[in-house]
Chain A
Amino acid sequence: MTRASEIVVVGGGVIGCAVAYYAAKRGLRVTLIDQPRRGRATSASAGGLWPLGESIGLGCGVIFYKAQLEQGKVAEAGGPSQLPRAFLDFALQSKALFPTLAGELRETGGLDIELERTSLLFVMYDEADEAFARPLWQNCPCGRSLTEWVTPEELGRTEPAVTRAARGALRFNGDDQLNPYRLADAFRASARTLGAKLLPHTEVRNICVAKGRVIAVETAAQRIPCDAMVNAAGAWAPEIGRMAGIDIPVLPVRGQIVATETLPEVLSACISTTDCYLAQKRHGEIIIGSTTEETGFDVGVTPRALKALTAGAIRAIPFLEQVNVKRAWAGLRPGTPDELPILGSVEGVAGYYNACGHFRTGILNAPLTGVLLSELLSGAPLSFPLEPFLLSRFGAHRDTGASRVGRAR
């Protein structure tokens, strides 16, 4: 592998910013181009860093599973499916980068990402919840050391705001949180300090490929010659892929989310139930997420989702009934058919790299994605095997004009 001399990153969400940062840190010449689109995922996100919870289907996973059960799409089979081991390892390795990264970003970019140690609690209401949680506790893929069975009494002591009707909880230590747009901002500001060029409010219109190589990226106003480009356009990645003749199976998956007014500190852990998840942020608001819907690029909020999320939140934390909603919004997760991100090179188009399809864990997985892409771009050895995440896992991917993308969950 060779070192790219001129790199363009398309898309300035958390992923594009992370790639630009790590590339600039390696001394690569990089230009980050972003046109803000309604529903971009990073500014909609909850900011949970839940490698364990997410890989076994908590957070959005368990809510999604319940919705599928109700629609009869899956047979009752003991809870949401677990993601492959490679995902958990990737997420754990990415998660481990945060403490050092927080310091680096503060020093280089002058911004605090508001990283907090919280743990994630799966709060159980009934036998079905317990039946789902018990095997996870006994043989969690992460090993027993990071999980903890919490009795109702202990739960009442450590999280007095949580309902007394709970039958206890399963705690995942090491599942933490931060402020997601601060993370993107801090990556961007630090990349800039390290010499990256930023083109905000600029839309990428075309990618020039000649003799099987990327040679330039075009915006309305200019043509930027390059020998490598990174597709980090989130839910819009298929648009960018098509410009290079590549079919990317990414679909927008809407997530609606609600934030309360600012409250005094009432939660110390992030909470996940079969109805919703809750995380109190540094500034005091509690974020209540989230739906998982395939509704195209519509970024509206729906009465049905508002009702389900608020009812779920009140069930978990009864006093919220009297609390005001500050805001509700929706974002578009870049979903893929197997829920794994799409990373790395594509056969037949030299200089083209994917960094997309991060679905519901793009915040968590941004650092390792950035590290890996910067390694690819500089021709350095990789710190994590890329095979499970390559586009080629889906089979044919060169755009034939009529091909259909796979269905994301």
Chain B
Amino acid sequence: MPRTVIIDLSSHREILWAAEETAGAIRADQLIVASGAYERSVPFPGWTLPGVMTAGGAQRLIKTLQVRPGRRALITGTGPLLLVVANQLRAVGTEVVAVLEAGRHPRWPQFLVKARGEWGLLKDAFEYWRGLRRAGIPLRFNHTVFEAHGASAVEAVTYGPVDPATWTPIRSQAEQVEVDLLVVGFGLVPNVELTTLGGCDHRYALELGGWVPERDACMETSIPGLFAVGDGAGIRGAAVASLEGRVAGITAAEHAGLLPRAEADRRRAPFLARLESLLRVRAVLDGMSRIRPGLSELATPGTIVCRCEEVALGEVQMALAAGARDLQAVKLLTRLGMGPCQGRNCAPAMRSYLSHATGRTAAEVGRINPRPPVKPVRLGALARMTRAMPADDPFQATIREALS
């Protein structure tokens, strides 16, 4: 069903879908959630200024809208995507003054040993790195943005080194550079709203981007018949995502009685073997760009931390002083996370901030519980809800197409 969003998932695997004009419910015996990820926001002074954008946002401007996002850019964050964006920006004629990687320099020899058998994964990164070298764009490890300056848009950026272990900014060594574009990419956060609403057990795994559903080897969550795959179950990239999808698909077919056990095992085996090999390499990559607590020290009391409700860090600090110890309490006191994004943007950063400030674990700091609808839907569409599929049932049409 194209242009259709899932707005709720009950623990009996009933999904509620919505389109522009109508909505409906489907109960599935086997359900695979592949909801992907969203970009992680890291608040720092000036991050809401026009001219500061996410890596994904910059890519969209270039690739989809064919717009050059700025004349002179600084790129900051962590992970290989920064290199990709640097090359793309250069290709559309933006001058890239530097790429600031908060993580450490990869120790190539050690890394290459671990990557044995999975060169493909490294080849791309290496190509991008070479592109940077050729263009003379400096790549500075253990560096990050401190502040963006400007009256109505970015005019300059202060940045500097961070402590290699904690990523705590070392402000005494700050430098400034004039740019009109600051691209920020601190990685992705799994989109677990649907698995959460569906009642699946989750655990906090920093190296996978945050909260992730618990799964068995065949991608089934703690709710029987409900599978989670891809970035929505932990950030591990496109190759892993598609393998997980295959394993889940085969297993769902097996559960539905369409594949005998032995046949399902036979089909799953090569994908499971490949997954194991890929995950070994990912573990090293993920370790390098795992987000560190020192980033929480970038924001100052005046920094907006929740854009929807315009809550500043100072208000969160006041909530802490008033006894709040978890995200839910901060939410009720400050309205943080009460806006349309439901905390998608502010919660990951505020979780680290609260952990950092209170010494409590991410699990203790808790979560902002997602509420339906997890995607925007009009009242009119819900009011016209039908139990049945829409008349010109695109779902059936897709199935017919696939079968013909």
Binding site for B on A (CB under 8 A): 36, 43, 181, 185, 189, 192, 198, 200-201, 258, 260-261, 283, 300-301, 303, 306-307, 310-311, 313-314, 320-329
From residue B319, how far is it (CB to closest CB) to chain A in Å? 10
Pairwise interchain contact B332-A322, C-beta atoms closer than 8 A: no
Pairwise interchain contact A261-B380, C-beta atoms closer than 8 A: no
Pairwise interchain contact B322-A189, C-beta atoms closer than 8 A: yes
Contact of B335 (CB < 8 Å), options: A36, A283, A301: A283
From residue A310, how far is it (CB to closest CB) to chain B in Å? 4
Q: In whole angstroms, what is the CA distance A250 to B339 when docked?
A: 34
Pairwise interchain contact A185-B332, C-beta atoms closer than 8 A: yes
Sample 11 A-B pairs with CB under 8 A, ordered by A number. A201-B325, A303-B385, A307-B382, A314-B383, A323-B379, A325-B373, A325-B378, A325-B379, A325-B382, A328-B371, A328-B372
- 4 pairs of A and B residues whose beta carbons are closest in the complex: A321-B380, A311-B383, A310-B382, A310-B383
With a cutoff of 8 Å between Cβ atoms, the chain A residues found around residue B385 in the complex are 303, 306-307
From residue B324, how far is it (CB to closest CB) to chain A in Å? 9
Interface centre among A185, A189, A313 (most CB of B within 10 A): A185
- What would 20 more interface pairs be, CB under 8 Å, given A303-B16, A303-B23, A306-B385? A36-B328, A189-B322, A198-B323, A200-B323, A201-B326, A303-B24, A303-B387, A307-B382, A307-B385, A310-B379, A321-B379, A321-B383, A323-B379, A325-B373, A325-B377, A325-B378, A327-B371, A327-B372, A328-B8, A328-B371
Chain B residue with Cβ nearest A329: B371
With a cutoff of 8 Å between Cβ atoms, the chain B residues found around residue A260 in the complex are 379
Chain A residue with Cβ nearest B8: A301
Question: Which chain B residues (1-57) contact chain A, with CB distance < 8 Å?
Answer: 8, 10-11, 14, 16, 23-25
With a cutoff of 8 Å between Cβ atoms, the chain B residues found around residue A314 in the complex are 379-380, 383
Pairwise interchain contact B332-A306, C-beta atoms closer than 8 A: no
With a cutoff of 8 Å between Cβ atoms, the chain B residues found around residue A326 in the complex are 339-340
Chain B residue with Cβ nearest A192: B323
B93 adjacent to chain A (CB < 8 Å): no
With a cutoff of 8 Å between Cβ atoms, the chain A residues found around residue B24 in the complex are 303
Pairwise interchain contact B377-A324, C-beta atoms closer than 8 A: yes
Contact with A along B371-394 (1 / 0, CB 8 A): 111001111101101010000000
Interface centre among B23, B25, B372, B382 (most CB of A within 10 A): B382
Q: Say which size band chain B's interface belongs to.
A: 20 to 34
Q: In whole angstroms, what is the CA distance A197 to B382 when docked?
A: 45
Q: In whole angstroms, what is the CA distance A185 to B324 when docked?
A: 11
Q: In whole angstroms, what is the CA distance A330 to B244 when docked?
A: 34
B285 adjacent to chain A (CB < 8 Å): no
From residue A321, how far is it (CB to closest CB) to chain B in Å? 4
Contact of A321 (CB < 8 Å), options: B332, B335, B342, B378: B378
With a cutoff of 8 Å between Cβ atoms, the chain B residues found around residue A310 in the complex are 379-380, 382-383
Contact with A along B297-341 (1 / 0, CB 8 A): 000000000000000000000000011011011001101000110
From residue B379, how far is it (CB to closest CB) to chain A in Å? 4
Interface centre among B11, B14, B376, B378 (most CB of A within 10 A): B378
Pairwise interchain contact A300-B382, C-beta atoms closer than 8 A: no
From residue B129, how far is it (CB to closest CB) to chain A in Å? 43
Q: In whole angstroms, what is the CA distance A314 to B340 when docked?
A: 21
With a cutoff of 8 Å between Cβ atoms, the chain B residues found around residue A201 in the complex are 325-326
From residue A220, how far is it (CB to closest CB) to chain B in Å? 15
Interface centre among A198, A200, A307, A329 (most CB of B within 10 A): A307
Q: In whole angstroms, what is the CA distance A258 to B381 when docked?
A: 14
Pairwise interchain contact A200-B383, C-beta atoms closer than 8 A: no
Chain B residue with Cβ nearest A188: B323
Q: In whole angstroms, what is the CA distance A301 to B379 when docked?
A: 15
Contact of B332 (CB < 8 Å), options: A43, A258, A283, A311: A43
Pairwise interchain contact B383-A307, C-beta atoms closer than 8 A: yes
Q: In whole angstroms, what is the CA distance A273 to B382 when docked?
A: 19
From residue A3, how far is it (CB to closest CB) to chain B in Å? 28
With a cutoff of 8 Å between Cβ atoms, the chain B residues found around residue A328 in the complex are 8, 371-373
From residue A19, how far is it (CB to closest CB) to chain B in Å? 18
Q: In whole angstroms, what is the CA distance A295 to B373 when docked?
A: 21
Question: Which chain B residues (326-369) contact chain A, with CB distance < 8 Å?
Answer: 326, 328-329, 332-333, 335, 339-340, 342
Pairwise interchain contact B379-A320, C-beta atoms closer than 8 A: yes
With a cutoff of 8 Å between Cβ atoms, the chain B residues found around residue A261 in the complex are 340
Interface centre among B339, B379, B383 (most CB of A within 10 A): B379
Chain A residue with Cβ nearest B374: A327
From residue B86, how far is it (CB to closest CB) to chain A in Å? 37
From residue A284, how far is it (CB to closest CB) to chain B in Å? 11
With a cutoff of 8 Å between Cβ atoms, the chain B residues found around residue A329 in the complex are 371
Pairwise interchain contact A306-B382, C-beta atoms closer than 8 A: yes
Chain B residue with Cβ nearest A308: B383
Q: In whole angstroms, what is the CA distance A323 to B381 when docked?
A: 10
Q: In whole angstroms, what is the CA distance A303 to B7 when docked?
A: 11
With a cutoff of 8 Å between Cβ atoms, the chain A residues found around residue B323 in the complex are 192, 198, 200
With a cutoff of 8 Å between Cβ atoms, the chain B residues found around residue A325 in the complex are 373, 376-379, 382
From residue B25, how far is it (CB to closest CB) to chain A in Å? 4
Interface centre among A36, A283, A320, A328 (most CB of B within 10 A): A328
From residue A12, how far is it (CB to closest CB) to chain B in Å? 11
From residue B71, how far is it (CB to closest CB) to chain A in Å? 36
With a cutoff of 8 Å between Cβ atoms, the chain A residues found around residue B25 in the complex are 303
Q: In whole angstroms, what is the CA distance A325 to B18 when docked?
A: 12
With a cutoff of 8 Å between Cβ atoms, the chain A residues found around residue B379 in the complex are 258, 260, 310, 313-314, 320-325
From residue B341, how far is it (CB to closest CB) to chain A in Å? 10
Contact of A322 (CB < 8 Å), options: B325, B340, B380: B380
From residue B311, how far is it (CB to closest CB) to chain A in Å? 12
From residue A197, how far is it (CB to closest CB) to chain B in Å? 11
From residue A243, how far is it (CB to closest CB) to chain B in Å? 26
Pairwise interchain contact A324-B376, C-beta atoms closer than 8 A: yes
With a cutoff of 8 Å between Cβ atoms, the chain A residues found around residue B14 in the complex are 303
With a cutoff of 8 Å between Cβ atoms, the chain A residues found around residue B342 in the complex are 327
Q: In whole angstroms, what is the CA distance A2 to B244 when docked?
A: 68
From residue B345, how far is it (CB to closest CB) to chain A in Å? 15
With a cutoff of 8 Å between Cβ atoms, the chain A residues found around residue B333 in the complex are 185
With a cutoff of 8 Å between Cβ atoms, the chain B residues found around residue A306 in the complex are 16, 372, 382, 385
Q: In whole angstroms, what is the CA distance A325 to B381 when docked?
A: 10
With a cutoff of 8 Å between Cβ atoms, the chain A residues found around residue B332 in the complex are 43, 181, 185
From residue A131, how far is it (CB to closest CB) to chain B in Å? 27
Chain B residue with Cβ nearest A302: B10
With a cutoff of 8 Å between Cβ atoms, the chain A residues found around residue B8 in the complex are 301, 328
Q: In whole angstroms, what is the CA distance A328 to B7 when docked?
A: 10
Interface centre among B24, B335, B376, B385 (most CB of A within 10 A): B385
With a cutoff of 8 Å between Cβ atoms, the chain B residues found around residue A311 in the complex are 383
Q: In whole angstroms, what is the CA distance A325 to B377 when docked?
A: 6
Q: In whole angstroms, what is the CA distance A362 to B322 when docked?
A: 25
Q: In whole angstroms, what is the CA distance A386 to B342 when docked?
A: 43
From residue B374, how far is it (CB to closest CB) to chain A in Å? 10
Q: In whole angstroms, what is the CA distance A324 to B16 when docked?
A: 16
Q: In whole angstroms, what is the CA distance A303 to B27 when docked?
A: 12
Chain B residue with Cβ nearest A312: B383
Q: In whole angstroms, what is the CA distance A300 to B387 when docked?
A: 18
Q: In whole angstroms, what is the CA distance A328 to B382 when docked?
A: 12
Q: In whole angstroms, what is the CA distance A200 to B326 when docked?
A: 11
With a cutoff of 8 Å between Cβ atoms, the chain A residues found around residue B11 in the complex are 300
Q: In whole angstroms, what is the CA distance A328 to B375 when docked?
A: 12
Q: In whole angstroms, what is the CA distance A311 to B25 when docked?
A: 17
Q: In whole angstroms, what is the CA distance A181 to B324 when docked?
A: 14
